[in-house]
Chains A and B, each alone.
Chain A
């Protein structure tokens, strides 16, 4: 089985994974070489694509799973989880 890093996090900011939050997340994800996905209720989105993130329609209280696979997978998951847990630095 191929190794990958993953972490379950909860959306905390009041607007959820809206446009500005998705832009921030995708911009951060693009700094990593790993393939990164966000999953909500078995629906997956490429974390580097803002349009796919928006289609998750993830609101406050929703649980998402961040998964990464690649050379910097651990750091990618850690940093993206920090961003989500910070409420995308919004609230």
Chain B
């Protein structure tokens, strides 16, 4: 984590921090894939939820990561599955922190997050990413036959 996400930058923008939380090694590998395509992202972090930990310990790890990423633009948390443990831990921080949660993360939405308007409200960013993630799921044969709906 760098200090970049926690400060208003020289242009007056309000950067948002991004945290990916998921089962197993998924979060780390999604961030690896994002950075392979889009380059290093200092305001992004990934966390694996270790089910050997008790819930309170896992929650404190997530809370610490959120605090480290926190800046004027808040923190947007991506989780893999609504209702899963990573998502539930993130949900437990709603109301306490300036966060928004998008459950059902995919690589298109992670890529889109790198080009969001920084000054947009956190909720609006989450809505844009949800729609983008939905709209970038395809049946390949529909694309190739020109029948895909966007």
Binding site for B on A (CB under 8 A): 19-20, 23, 26-27, 30, 50-51, 55, 57
Contacts and interface: CB of A to CB of B under 8 A. Distances in A.
- Nearest 3 A/B pairs, CB to CB: A19-B37, A20-B37, A23-B37
B26 interface: no
A55 B108 CA distance: 13
- Range for the number of chain B residues in contact with chain A: 10 to 19
Given A20-B36, A20-B37, A23-B38, A55 B143 contact: yes
A20 B135 CA distance: 20
B72 to A, nearest CB: 24
Contacts of B144: 57
Nearest to A51: B136
Interface string B135-150: 1100000011000100
B115 interface: yes
A30 B115 contact: yes
Contacts of A26: 115
B111 interface: yes
Contacts of B115: 26-27, 30
A33 to B, nearest CB: 16
A57 B144 CA distance: 9
A55 B142 CA distance: 11
A26 B112 CA distance: 11
A23 B115 CA distance: 10
A26 B114 CA distance: 12
Given A51-B108, A51-B112, A55-B143, 4 more contacts: A27-B115, A51-B132, A51-B135, A55-B148
Contacts of B135: 51
A80 B143 CA distance: 25
21 contacts: A19-B37, A19-B111, A20-B36, A20-B37, A20-B38, A23-B37, A23-B38, A23-B111, A26-B115, A27-B115, A30-B115, A50-B111, A51-B108, A51-B112, A51-B132, A51-B135, A51-B136, A55-B143, A55-B148, A57-B143, A57-B144
A50 B37 CA distance: 11
Contacts of A23: 37-38, 111
B63 to A, nearest CB: 32
